[in-house]
Amino acid sequence: MGIRIRKLSYALGAQIEGLDLTRPIGESEFGEVHRAFLEHGVLLLRGQRVDREQHIAFSRHFGELDRHDSLPRDRDPDHPELLMVTNRERTDGQPSNSRYTGQLWHSDMSFTLVPSLGSLLRAVEVPPVGGDTMFANMTAAYDALSPGMKRLIDGLHGVHQPERKGADQAPQWAEQNRRLNPPVAQPVVRVHPETGRRALYIGEKVRRFESMTEEESQPIIRYLLQHATRPQFLYRHQWQRDDILVWDNRCTMHIALGDYEQALERHMERTTVLGTPSGHVAVDAEVA
Host H or E run for residue 174: helix 171-180
Respond yes or no: is residue 106 known to be catalytic.
yes
Question: Is position 40 annotated as part of the catalytic site?
Answer: no
Q: Any catalytic annotation for residue 108?
A: yes
Question: Does 254 participate in catalysis according to the annotation?
Answer: yes
Determine the Cα–Cα distance for residues 105 and 228; give it in Å rounded to an integer.
10
DSSP annotation of 65:
B
Q: In what order do the strands lie in the sheet with 4-7?
A: 4-7, 14-17, 42-45, 244-248, 116-125, 267-274, 83-86
Torsion of CA 107, 197, 233, 118, to 10 degrees: -30
Contact between residue 97 and residue 218 where contact means Cβ atoms under 8 Å apart: no
Angle at 109 between CA 228 and CA 17, to 5 degrees: 70
d(CA 85, CA 104): 14
Measure the CA–CA gap between 79 and 56, rounded to whole angstroms: 9
Q: Which of 106, 122, 164, 198 is catalytic?
A: 106
User: Of the residues 74, 108, 243, 248, which is catalytic?
Assistant: 108
Bridge partners of 253, per DSSP, are 136
Amino acid symbol at 113? L
Do 246 and 45 touch, CB atoms closer than 8 A? Answer: yes
Q: Which residues are marked as active site?
A: 106, 108, 254, 270
